[in-house]
Structure formats: structure tokens, C-alpha cells
């Protein structure tokens, strides 16, 4: 037993020895084969650029996906006004056995001319659809508004052949003010309107009606972060001018009117937020007579946009 130095189980076949196995099973050849071109950094999982690109795509998708749900404008006067203004309704609901007057007749005619479906439904169903609003037998369904992306606004502005003019809203929560700003933006040659993701009115039926149909023609985008988006536009060469009661310059001394420009309109109560104000190249005030309260957001925006348009017309004639 003592002379047997071999460990039990350590049996080796004759003619073999330790060392590499002859042949590689094709692994060496496959290891020498090319794996194709190296993907761009944005395409390589885990790469910082890929992570940034994915985050930017997620923000863009979130911005594109913001939509208001379908709404129903209720009441004879509101429905007629919406149809006259070109609000893109999808269905006109008319209560059965309605006591028709001139407004009902006009609503039905306008809807038929625009190719809008006209449905007669029981009054109880119309009550339910309008959340028991005072509908007077008429309701107009408005589809969800489809927003653009901020990059689309900049592309439209740059391809217009004119100095870009964009309007951004900072905390405007009244849809009537939003609609009025959109209408003024269209009237004075702006190329698009930007809304923040939070603390802002959306393009609802009220905004549609107040805009007098111009919301159908004016690109409107959503910014996940308004301050960040303004800085991105500034990097693209746009100047930022914010409306502010305590502005650094009066409207008569606005020197940026003929430059590529973003006009920022603050909220109805507190004006521009601090971060947005700090992002502006200039803040602009509108001189007013003593003892008069400040203008609301939409009126102030119209005054400034009209002055910008005037100065651009003058510059174009020089």
C-alpha cells in the first residue's frame, strides 16, 4: 500500500499527456472573422451618447403624445360660434324633438357644409355626453388636438424665408387667453406657438373657439421643460424677449424685433417665472397711462407682436 503512490481515481490512459487539445474546433477561425463596422456611439447599448439619445427620444415621444380628450361644446350660441370659427368638429349632436330656431338651423347647415356628421339623439343621452351642461339641444364634438414637436416649429420658422418668429407661453392657464394669443400669433406672422408641459392651458374647445379657427393653421408644440427648450433655441441663434411689467427695456426701445426671435408671454397673474426671465436676452414692458391696471396676457402679447411685425415691415422697405 505504501509503495502505491497513485491517487485513487487519477487514472491516465496510455499515450496521453497534459497539454492543449489538438485542434480548436474552428474557434480560432471564427475568432479571426470580422464582426462588421463598429456601430455609432448612439447605437451602442450602455454608451453615454446612446443613453442621452434614448432619453431625448423619450422626451420627444412624451411631448408628441400629449393630447386633450374629445370634448363637446354645448349650447346653441357656442356651437354656432365654433362652427363659424372653423373649429374642426367631428359630430353635431341634435336632441330629438328639438324646438328649432335660427341658431339650430344655422348649426345644422354649417355642419352639413363642412361634412360633419349630424346625429339626432335622445335628450337624456345628450345630457350624459355633455355632463349635464346647459346644451339647449345642441352639442358639437371636437377631436383631440395633435401637437407638433418644438423641433418642427424651428424647422418651419427657418424654412419660411423670413427671420424666425416664435411665441412661447409661460404658465398661461386660461384657455381663452391661449386661444387669443394663437390668433394674434397668426395675425402678426409668427411661425408657431410653444406651450410648457405643465401649468399651462391646452388646446381645448374653448381655446379653439377663441382662436377663431387659427389653431387649425398655427403649429402648436409642447415643451417638456420650457427653460431648457428656450436655451436650445438660443443655441440655434434665436433671441429671447420676455414680456414683463418691470422689463429692462420699453417696447419703443426693443432692439431685437428684426432678429430671429422668441416672444415669451408670462402668466395672467405672476408674469414670467424666474428661470424663464433669466433665460431672456431682454425683458420688455409696455408703457401705460397712470392708474390703469396691467394688460392681460393675450392683449399684451398682441401689442408686442404688432410692434414686432411693424418693425419688420419697416426694415423690409429699407
Show the cell assigned to 209.
373657439
Please determine, for residue 10, whether its predicted confidence score (pLDDT) is greater than 90.
Answer: no
More reliable by pLDDT, 208 or 195: 195
Closest among 232, 225, 159 to 192, alpha carbons compared: 159
Cell of 168: 412661447
- pLDDT-based confidence at residue 271 (cuts at 50, 70, 90): confident
Contacts of 135 (CB under 8 A, 6+ apart): 74, 75, 95, 126, 127
User: What mean pLDDT comes out for the span 144-152?
Assistant: 91
Residue 34 CA from chain centroid, whole number? 45
Residue 37 pLDDT grade (very low, low, confident, very high; cuts 50, 70, 90): low
Flag whether pLDDT at 208 surpasses 90.
Answer: no
CB 276 within 8 A of CB 227: yes
Look at residue 1 and tell me whether its pLDDT is greater than 60: no
Q: How many CB atoms sit inside 10 A of residue 143's CB?
A: 15
Alpha carbons 263 and 255: distance in angstroms, whole number: 13
- Whether 119 has a pLDDT exceeding 70, the answer reads yes
Does position 196 have pLDDT exceeding 60, yes or no? yes
Q: Lowest-pLDDT range, 21-35, 254-268, 274-288?
A: 21-35
Whether the per-residue pLDDT at 207 is higher than 80: the answer is yes
* 8 Å CB contact between 166 and 193: yes
**For 38-85, what is each residue's pLDDT tens digit?**
666 656 677 666 666 666 555 444 444 444 567 888 899 889 988 987
Q: In this structure, how many other beta carbons lie within 10 angstroms of the beta carbon of residue 148?
A: 19
Answer for the pair 215, 182: CB distance below 8 angstroms, yes or no: yes
pLDDT the model gives residue 24: 57
Q: Mean pLDDT over all residues of the chain? A: 83
Q: What does the alpha-carbon distance between residue 180 and residue 258 come to, in Å, rounded to a whole number?
A: 23
* Rounded CA separation 81/85 (Å): 6
> Span 247-255, mean pLDDT?
90
> Is 90 exceeded by the pLDDT of residue 17?
no
Closest residue by Cα to residue 72 from 180, 218, 209: 209
Partners of residue 243 on adjacent β-strands: 284
Band (148; pLDDT cuts 50, 70, 90): very high
Q: State yes or no: pLDDT of 128 exceeds 60.
A: yes
Q: What is residue 198's predicted lDDT score, i.e. its pLDDT?
A: 87
Q: Please, where are the H alpha helices in 86-145?
A: 102-113, 123-129
pLDDT band at 212 (very low <50, low <70, confident <90, very high): confident
Cβ density class 27-43: b for 16+ within 10 Å, e for less: eeeeeeeeeeeeeeeee
In terms of pLDDT, which residue wins out, 57 or 222? 222
Q: Average the pLDDT over each of 3-7, 119-123, 181-185, 254-258 and give the range with the smallest value.
A: 3-7
SS percent in the chain: helix, strand, coil, step 5 = 40, 15, 45
Share above pLDDT 90 across residues of the chain, in percent, rounded to a whole number = 53
pTM of this structure: 0.69
Is residue 172 within 8 A of residue 200, CB to CB? The reply is yes
CB atoms under 10 Å from CB of 125, counted, come to: 14
Question: If DSSP codes are grouped into helix, strand and coil, which group holds residue 170?
Answer: strand
Amino acid at each position: 500500500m505504501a509503495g502505491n503512490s497513485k491517487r485513487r481515481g487519477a487514472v491516465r490512459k496510455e499515450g496521453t499527456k497534459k497539454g492543449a487539445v489538438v485542434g480548436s474546433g474552428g474557434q480560432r477561425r471564427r475568432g479571426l472573422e470580422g464582426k462588421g463596422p463598429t456601430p455609432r456611439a448612439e447605437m451602442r447599448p450602455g454608451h453615454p451618447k446612446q443613453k442621452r439619445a434614448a432619453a431625448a427620444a423619450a422626451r420627444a415621444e412624451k411631448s408628441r403624445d400629449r393630447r386633450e380628450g374629445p370634448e363637446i361644446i354645448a349650447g346653441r350660441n357656442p356651437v354656432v360660434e365654433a362652427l363659424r370659427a372653423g373649429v374642426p368638429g367631428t359630430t353635431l349632436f341634435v336632441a330629438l324633438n328639438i324646438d328649432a330656431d335660427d341658431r339650430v338651423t344655422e348649426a345644422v347647415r354649417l355642419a352639413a357644409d363642412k361634412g360633419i356628421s349630424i346625429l339626432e339623439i335622445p335628450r337624456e343621452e345628450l345630457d350624459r355626453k355633455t355632463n349635464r351642461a346647459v346644451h339647449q339641444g345642441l352639442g358639437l364634438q371636437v377631436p383631440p388636438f395633435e401637437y407638433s414637436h418644438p423641433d418642427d416649429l424651428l424647422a418651419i420658422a427657418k424654412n419660411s424665408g423670413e427671420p424666425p418668429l416664435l411665441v412661447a407661453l409661460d404658465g398661461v392657464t386660461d384657455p381663452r387667453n391661449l386661444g387669443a394669443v394663437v390668433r394674434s400669433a397668426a395675425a402678426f406672422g409668427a411661425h408657431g406657438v410653444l406651450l410648457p408641459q405643465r401649468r399651462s392651458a391646452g388646446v381645448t374647445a374653448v381655446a379653439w373657439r377663441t382662436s377663431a379657427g387659427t389653431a387649425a393653421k398655427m403649429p402648436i408644440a409642447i415643451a417638456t421643460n420650457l427653460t431648457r427648450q428656450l436655451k436650445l433655441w438660443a443655441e440655434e441663434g434665436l433671441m429671447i424677449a420676455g414680456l414683463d411689467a418691470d422689463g429692462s427695456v420699453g417696447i419703443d426701445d426693443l432692439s431685437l424685433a428684426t432678429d430671429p426671435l422668441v416672444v415669451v408671454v408670462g402668466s395672467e397673474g405672476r408674469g414670467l417665472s424666474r428661470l424663464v426671465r433669466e433665460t431672456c436676452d431682454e425683458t420688455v414692458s409696455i408703457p401705460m397711462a397712470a392708474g390703469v391696471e396691467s394688460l392681460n396676457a393675450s392683449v399684451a402679447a398682441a401689442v408686442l407682436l404688432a410692434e414686432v411685425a411693424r418693425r419688420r415691415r419697416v426694415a423690409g422697405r429699407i
